[in-house]
């Protein structure tokens, strides 16, 4: 499940992933948030928290993620990924060069620093 997070400026798309993330989660939560932010901003930022209760992402969700990312390739300014899950942290580090804009990985203990960085100038 993808949960929209409140308390961020409107140029920041902030979500938390819990349990199993599906393609429907992308279509119902993330894609509308991205489209709304892009209506008002040339570039947007993403705060993406993968909660400790995250279990899996299904193939359709991966496909939706790729479509959203590539569909707006030049419009990502910063991406903060917050997680203690090893394979996610390692994957972000390994493939950071493919991610448009600035991207940083933070531990759950660094969530406040991630929030400060994603909204910072």
pLDDT tens-place string over residues 31-82: 889 889 989 999 999 999 999 999 988 867 666 666 565 555 678 899 999 9
The pair of three-digit structure tokens given for residue 20, joined into one six-digit string: 């199993």
Indicate which CATH number applies to the domain containing 34. 3.40.50
Among 48, 56, 115, 108, residue whose Cα is nearest residue 76: 48
What is the pLDDT, as a whole number, of residue 5?
A: 96
Q: pTM for this one?
A: 0.88
As for how many domains the chain has, the answer is 1
Distance CA 5, CA 100 (A): 22
Domain ranges, residue 89: 2-119
Q: What percent of the chain has pLDDT over 90?
A: 54
């Amino acid at each position: 499940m993808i949960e929209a997070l409140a308390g961020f400026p409107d140029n920041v798309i902030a979500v938390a992933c819990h349990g199993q993330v599906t393609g429907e989660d992308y279509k119902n939560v993330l894609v509308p948030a991205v489209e709304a932010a892009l209506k008002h901003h040339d570039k947007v930022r993403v705060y993406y928290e993968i909660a400790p209760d995250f279990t899996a992402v299904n193939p359709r969700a991966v496909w939706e993620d790729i479509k959203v990312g590539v569909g707006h390739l030049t419009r990502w300014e910063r991406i903060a990924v917050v997680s203690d899950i090893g394979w996610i942290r390692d994957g972000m580090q390994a493939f950071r060069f493919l991610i448009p804009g600035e991207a940083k990985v933070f531990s759950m203990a660094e969530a406040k620093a991630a929030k400060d960085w994603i909204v910072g100038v």
